[in-house]
């Protein structure tokens, strides 16, 4: 539903509030208190479409003029009100209009309103004067009477129509600009290689792979101590004592030998990490369905231009962008994944030149010299053209990068759609557009028993049996086309804006008729044009998928390859093939049974969404707290408020900074979060600022440890699998109830803090758990919660999470240590006006709240105090607001005084300006005076003194010195480049000498001695000419959870896959005298963690 934000402006007493109340509530109030700021919402029709009007009734008194600039910048449209009975209000409004135009421009939607038309005997402003003024501004003029309800609704609806037209005009201008650009370059804006490739990076895609550091194995005592620290925050004292005894025994008995064996295993497999093979094995041996249990989803943000959020248009544009990314990746032209500590300083031409010049075995060290840290890209090789194939006991991963088509699912029927020609070139946009348009126009719905995709929702053994039967029925080629397709696009007929229904479709897929859950990734595009990726989890942890989404989002927003205005041409029949399977009665029965099983298995699954606009990423950062730690603390508070206990909590952290690193578990339920939760919820303490800082600091430490491979979960799993690999008895510690309890993740969380993704989610990992995908972005905090409703209440948790964030917001407001303006938080969007779960209001609760608010003693309290009390009693935001809106304003007079600090006598009440406004005014005056003084000083020093008194400007000498420093820096850089070039040439010379030495048996010893001497000289030159920065590794929080499994495989055999492993040789280690530092040293310079 579209929302229109309208601000009502005008002098005090002109009837702004009367107009607003008449429109929203249908009442006219003769006497009411002056307004500071009131917000209202009303459902209406705009251009025959449902819309929500958000109306902000503003202060008209002079004390609050400082707030107007905020209104000017944030509103979509303005209702400008003056009184027909007072000429001064009309004249003052002219100044307001000029201020708006100065900030927003001349085309901002505005409606001029002359109110109190019923007071004909006291009228001072003639209609002709107002009409002429409005005509000059090219805005509508309407005369109203709030008392008689004349033309009131017309005012606000006309403003909404103007906002709608303004948005359409903006889109039209953007579209015309795109067409103009396209006209100069052909049918679409890009051509040649610019169209064929997303980019042509100077540094090859896999340039850093051979020099990446290997994932470290933590020391056993460190793992034991970290395990105990985490357990103490969750387990009862008795359970903790038992688990401490168990792990201490393990530390002194079986642990050291298993640690030694694990280190030997890691040393023998230098082309991978100690956790990579067991992690693949764990996923591929799992026999449960991949849908819900493993596959997560991530929803794209809509295209900024709403016109392009069309199903056919978006599907075409995304498909083209995916193909461009694949071509760049296949030809080693996609830029490598690099984490820059300071992109402005390190992501430069010099950085790229140095790194591409260095050989792959040394390139990592060159990047680190710039404080830039390459990340592992081994998972990118499975991003396209892959699928998981069901097999008995253990699945395999299939990959065929030679394919030139992608797969489309529509109405349960799979189609093969050509996207590359025979030479491997990307087809033109109109060809791909035509193919997809033909499917949408001519695709016939498959019968339920013929929708083969439903079979991918089965448990893996059942699906393996069904697949064999499919192949025996002659469907092998169709299966290969689906498995080997670049990717899958699922075109859904669903058209809904209800979050709960949308999440259900994206994660479960209803009866799975239009899904293929085994595909590397499938992009689901509904009838509204909303695009979402659902991907199979065994091949990767989401790092590559997140990069894919960010790159394709930027690409399709910048390059609209097709437009909704483009009429599809006739399709090429050779480019589209419907994959019609040959199905026996047995297979049809299997498909129907799969659909019933899938629906039944997920019938207990429930979802809720939560959005909180009272805080955002940037505001939390200004408090010197980690935004992620604040969200994790709110999650702990929410769970404790509902269940009065603390439970193991999983947050995924990527270890992609290491060769073939996967993920590490961050145990977000800490001693600090436990203390803070109890202090806030049980002890009702107000002085919790230090507790919040402790939570942030401890969370920061967890991030550093996990990203450096120093968590304890993967290490303990590696030790357990080592015992299995050696056919030794599983140590008693792994049978300890405390260890089992710590692996039972009731709260499984993952953050998706990027503007590219609206939200993402996954299923709960244990029956009595919550799956929580959350995002912390510049505008708000949000979450998608999943649970089994027979065990947990997702909607109740969403409400509790909302309340927890509101409580934390209050503490941030009350803190005296933050360095941002408190007024800035008060002017956040109307986050209190929305119900976090979207659940319907309860009439009995609304009536109870209304009666409560009308109680004499309650009326003397502020609305905020009433709201907090009612929230604590279980009411929702929407119920409280509905109750308040049903009370006539005159009955809220006492409360309004309490809310806004009203003072005065009788009807001539005067609003007392808040203290922060006076401080703000003084600060603004000081800034203005300072700016004027500085400008005068610069003018005298730079112009008057040199020109009339021959006194040189000191800044000139400073400029000369700065220029000299820049020249010295340029010379130093040139020297470094020359040294690198010289070193490269000498390396080539020594390589030639080594070749000659190999062919010269007689002089082999002498040649080798000479080469050894030369290499020693070069090594000394290289290490003395370059002052490398400390070796560090970045922390990158994963976007997608990889869950800790409670059931560990009984064996750890090699992963079965159709791809070949990388060679074991060629992975360099740092020189012996290379001085490095840990990532913790570098991260200590960062104030906050995103």
Report the alpha-carbon distance of residue 381 to residue 1057 in Å, rounded.
13
Q: Which residues touch 567 (CB under 8 Å, ≥6 apart)? A: none
Give 821-832 pLDDT, tens digit per residue.
433 443 344 333
CATH 3.40.50.300 in the chain: give the residue spans.
2-183
**Residue 37 — very low, low, confident or very high, per pLDDT cuts 50/70/90?**
low
Report the alpha-carbon distance of residue 763 to residue 501 in Å, rounded.
15
Task: Read off the tokens for 1034.
Answer: 């970045």
Q: Is the pLDDT of residue 814 over 80?
A: no
- The question of whether 499 is a catalytic residue gets the answer no
Angle value at C-alpha 740, between 747 and 541, nearest 5 degrees? 50
360-379: average pLDDT: 94
Measured between its terminal Cα atoms, the distance across the chain in Å is: 31
Better-scored residue on pLDDT, 10 or 924: 10
**Residue 845 — very low, low, confident or very high, per pLDDT cuts 50/70/90?**
confident
Better-scored residue on pLDDT, 655 or 1044: 655
Helix boundaries (H) for 395-475: 429-442, 460-470
Angle value at C-alpha 549, between 794 and 805, nearest 5 degrees? 35
Q: Which residues touch 583 (CB under 8 Å, ≥6 apart)? A: 449, 450, 452, 473, 591
DSSP conformation letters of 82-137:
EETT-HHHHHHHHHHHHHHHHHH-TTS-EEEEEE-TT-GGG--S-HHHHHHHHHHH
DSSP conformation letters of 746-766:
SEEEEE---TTEEEEE---SS
- Ranking 186-200, 706-720, 822-836, 859-873 by mean pLDDT, the lowest is 822-836
CATH class of 2-183: alpha beta
Listed ranges 4-18, 737-751, 1060-1074; the one with the highest mean pLDDT = 737-751
> What backbone torsions phi and psi does residue 241 show, to the nearest 5 degrees?
-60, -40
Q: What is the pLDDT of residue 1045?
A: 42
Report the alpha-carbon distance of residue 478 to residue 409 in Å, rounded.
13
Do residues 552 and 322 make contact, with C-beta atoms less than 8 angstroms apart? yes
Better-scored residue on pLDDT, 1058 or 38: 38
DSSP conformation letters of 799-846:
HHHHHHHHHHHHHHHH-S---S-HHHHHTS--GGGS-TT-PPP-HHHH
Choose among 808, 771, 806: nearest CA to 788: 771
**If you count DSSP H runs as helices and E runs as strands, how many of each does the chain have, helices first?**
38, 26
Better-scored residue on pLDDT, 445 or 947: 445
* CATH for 220-285+605-819 (3.30.390.10, 3.40.228.10, 3.40.50.300, 3.30.559.10): 3.30.559.10
Report the alpha-carbon distance of residue 1061 to residue 379 in Å, rounded.
12
Q: Is the pLDDT of residue 804 over 50?
A: yes
Report the alpha-carbon distance of residue 740 to residue 737 in Å, rounded.
5
**Residue 865 — very low, low, confident or very high, per pLDDT cuts 50/70/90?**
confident
Do residues 1038 and 653 make contact, with C-beta atoms less than 8 angstroms apart? yes
Q: What is the pLDDT of residue 138?
A: 86
Q: Determine which one of 188, 537, 560, 811 is catalytic.
A: 537
Q: Is the pLDDT of residue 180 over 70?
A: no
* Three-class DSSP category at 253: coil
**Residue 1038 — very low, low, confident or very high, per pLDDT cuts 50/70/90?**
very low
**Residue 104 — very low, low, confident or very high, per pLDDT cuts 50/70/90?**
confident
Report the alpha-carbon distance of residue 530 to residue 510 in Å, rounded.
17
Q: What is the pLDDT of residue 402?
A: 92
567-592: average pLDDT: 96
CATH 3.30.559.10 in the chain: give the residue spans.
220-285+605-819
Q: What is the pLDDT of residue 753?
A: 82
482-493: average pLDDT: 98
**Residue 31 — very low, low, confident or very high, per pLDDT cuts 50/70/90?**
low
Give 183-229 pLDDT, tens digit per residue.
433 345 688 899 999 999 999 999 999 999 999 999 999 999 999 99
- Ranking 543-552, 844-853, 972-981, 1021-1030 by mean pLDDT, the lowest is 1021-1030
Give 340-365 pLDDT, tens digit per residue.
999 989 999 999 999 999 999 999 99
Q: Is the pLDDT of residue 1042 over 70?
A: no
DSSP conformation letters of 459-475:
-HHHHHHHHHHHIIIII
Q: What is the pLDDT of residue 945?
A: 66
CATH 3.30.559.70 in the chain: give the residue spans.
297-337+380-602
Q: What is the pLDDT of residue 716?
A: 98
CATH class of 297-337+380-602: alpha beta
Q: Is the pLDDT of residue 9 over 80?
A: yes
Average pLDDT, the chain: 83
Q: Is the pLDDT of residue 35 over 80?
A: no
């Amino acid at each position: 539903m579209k929302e229109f934000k309208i601000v009502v402006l005008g002098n005090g007493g002109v009837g702004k509030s009367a107009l607003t109340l008449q429109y929203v509530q249908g009442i006219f109030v003769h006497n009411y208190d002056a307004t500071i700021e009131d917000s209202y919402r009303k459902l209406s029709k705009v251009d025959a479409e449902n819309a929500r009007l958000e109306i902000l009734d503003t202060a008209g008194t002079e004390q609050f003029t400082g707030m107007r600039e905020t209104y000017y910048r944030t509103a979509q449209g303005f209702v400008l009100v003056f009184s027909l009975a007072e000429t001064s209000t009309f004249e003052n409004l002219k100044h307001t209009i000029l201020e708006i135009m100065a900030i927003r421009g001349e085309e901002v939607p505005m409606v001029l309103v002359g109110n109190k038309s019923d007071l004909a005997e006291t009228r001072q402003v003639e209609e002709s004067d107002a009409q002429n003024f409005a005509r000059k501004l090219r805005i509508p003029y309407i005369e109203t009477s709030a008392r008689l309800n004349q033309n009131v609704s017309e005012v606000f609806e006309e403003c909404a129509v103007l906002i709608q037209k303004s948005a359409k005009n903006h889109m039209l201008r953007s579209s015309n600009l795109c067409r103009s650009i396209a006209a100069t370059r052909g049918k679409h804006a890009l051509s040649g290689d610019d169209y064929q490739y997303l980019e042509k990076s100077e540094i090859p895609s896999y340039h850093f792979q051979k020099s990446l550091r290997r994932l470290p194995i933590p020391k056993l005592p460190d793992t034991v101590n970290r395990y105990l620290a985490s357990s103490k925050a969750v387990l009862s004292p008795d359970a903790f004592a038992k688990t401490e005894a168990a792990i201490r025994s393990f530390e002194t008995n079986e642990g050291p030998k298993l640690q030694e064996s694990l280190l030997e295993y890691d040393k023998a497999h230098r082309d991978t990490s100690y956790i990579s093979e067991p992690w693949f094995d764990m996923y591929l041996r799992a026999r449960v369905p991949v849908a819900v249990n493993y596959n997560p989803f991530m929803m794209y943000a809509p295209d900024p231009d709403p016109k392009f959020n069309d199903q056919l248009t978006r599907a075409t544009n995304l498909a083209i962008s995916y193909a461009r990314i694949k071509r760049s990746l296949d030809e080693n032209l996609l830029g490598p994944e690099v984490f820059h500590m300071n992109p402005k300083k390190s992501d430069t031409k010099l950085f790229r030149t140095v790194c591409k010049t260095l050989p792959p075995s040394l390139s990592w060290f060159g990047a680190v010299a710039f404080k830039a840290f390459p990340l592992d890209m081994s998972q990118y090789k499975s991003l396209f053209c892959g699928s998981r194939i069901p097999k008995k006991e253990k699945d395999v991963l299939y990959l065929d990068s030679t394919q030139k088509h992608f797969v489309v699912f529509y109405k349960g029927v799979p189609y093969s759609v050509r996207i590359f020609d025979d030479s491997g070139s990307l087809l033109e946009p109109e060809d791909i557009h035509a193919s997809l348009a033909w499917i949408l126009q001519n695709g016939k719905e498959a019968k339920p028993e013929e929708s083969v995709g439903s079979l991918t929702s089965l448990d893996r053994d059942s699906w393996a049996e069904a697949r064999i039967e499919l192949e025996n029925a002659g469907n092998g080629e169709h299966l290969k086309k689906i498995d080997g397709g670049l990717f899958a696009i699922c075109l859904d007929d669903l058209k809904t804006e209800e979050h709960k229904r949308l999440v259900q479709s994206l994660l479960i897929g209803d009866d799975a008729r239009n899904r293929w859950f085994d595909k590397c990734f499938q992009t689901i595009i509904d009838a509204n044009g909303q695009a979402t990726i659902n991907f199979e989890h065994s091949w990767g942890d989401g790092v590559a998928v997140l990069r894919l989404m960010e790159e394709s989002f930027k690409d399709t927003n910048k390059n609209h390859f097709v437009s909704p205005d483009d009429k599809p041409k006739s399709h090429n029949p050779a480019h589209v093939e419907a994959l019609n399977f040959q199905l026996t009665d047995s297979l049809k029965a299997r498909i129907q049974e799969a659909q019933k099983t899938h629906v039944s298995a997920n019938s207990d699954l429930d979802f809720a969404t939560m959005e909180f606009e009272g805080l955002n990423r940037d505001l939390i950062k200004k408090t010197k707290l980690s935004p992620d730690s604040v969200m994790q603390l709110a999650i702990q508070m929410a769970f404790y408020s509902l269940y009065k206990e603390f439970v193991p909590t999983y947050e995924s952290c990527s270890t992609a900074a290491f060769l073939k690193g996967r993920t590490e578990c961050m145990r977000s339920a800490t001693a600090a979060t436990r203390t803070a939760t109890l202090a806030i919820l049980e002890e009702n303490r107000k002085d919790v600022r230090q507790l919040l800082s402790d939570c942030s600091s401890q969370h920061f430490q967890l991030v550093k440890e996990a990203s450096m491979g120093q968590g304890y979960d993967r290490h303990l799993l590696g030790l357990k699998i080592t015992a299995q690999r050696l056919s030794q008895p599983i140590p008693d510690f792994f049978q300890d109830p405390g260890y089992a309890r710590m692996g039972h993740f009731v709260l499984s969380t993952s953050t998706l803090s990027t503007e590219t993704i609206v939200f993402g989610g996954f299923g709960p990992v244990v029956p009595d758990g919550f799956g929580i995908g959350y995002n912390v972005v510049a505008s708000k905090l949000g979450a998608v919660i999943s649970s089994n409703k027979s065990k947990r209440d997702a909607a109740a948790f969403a409400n509790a999470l909302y309340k927890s964030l509101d409580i934390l917001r209050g503490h941030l407001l009350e803190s005296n240590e933050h360095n941002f303006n408190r007024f800035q938080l008060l002017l956040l969007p109307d986050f209190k006006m929305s119900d976090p779960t979207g659940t319907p209001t309860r009439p009995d609760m609304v009536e109870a709240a209304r009666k409560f608010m009308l109680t004499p003693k309650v009326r003397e309290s502020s609305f905020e105090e009433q709201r907090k009390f009612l929230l604590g009693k279980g009411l929702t935001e929407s119920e409280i607001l509905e109750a308040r809106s049903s009370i006539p304003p005159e009955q809220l007079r006492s409360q309004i005084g309490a809310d806004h600090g009203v003072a005065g006598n009788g009807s001539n009440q005067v609003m007392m300006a808040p203290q922060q406004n006076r401080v703000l005014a003084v600060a603004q005056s000081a800034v203005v005076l300072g700016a004027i003084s500085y400008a005068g000083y610069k003018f005298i020093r730079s112009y008057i003194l040199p020109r009339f008194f021959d006194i040189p400007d000191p800044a000139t000498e400073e400029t000369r010195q700065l220029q000299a420093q820049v020249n010295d820096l340029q010379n130093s850089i040139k020297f470094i480049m020359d040294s690198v070039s010289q070193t490269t040439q000498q390396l080539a010379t020594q390589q030639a000498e080594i070749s000659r030495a190999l062919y010269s048996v007689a002089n082999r010893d002498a040649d080798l001695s000479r080469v050894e001497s030369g290499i020693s000289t070069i090594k000394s030159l290289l290490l003395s000419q370059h002052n490398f920065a400390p070796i560090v590794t970045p922390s990158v929080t994963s976007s997608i959870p990889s869950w800790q499994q409670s059931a560990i495989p009984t064996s750890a055999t090699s992963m079965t896959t159709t791809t070949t492993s990388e060679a074991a040789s060629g992975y360099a280690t740092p020189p012996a005298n290379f001085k490095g530092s840990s990532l913790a040293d570098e991260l200590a310079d960062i104030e906050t963690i995103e």
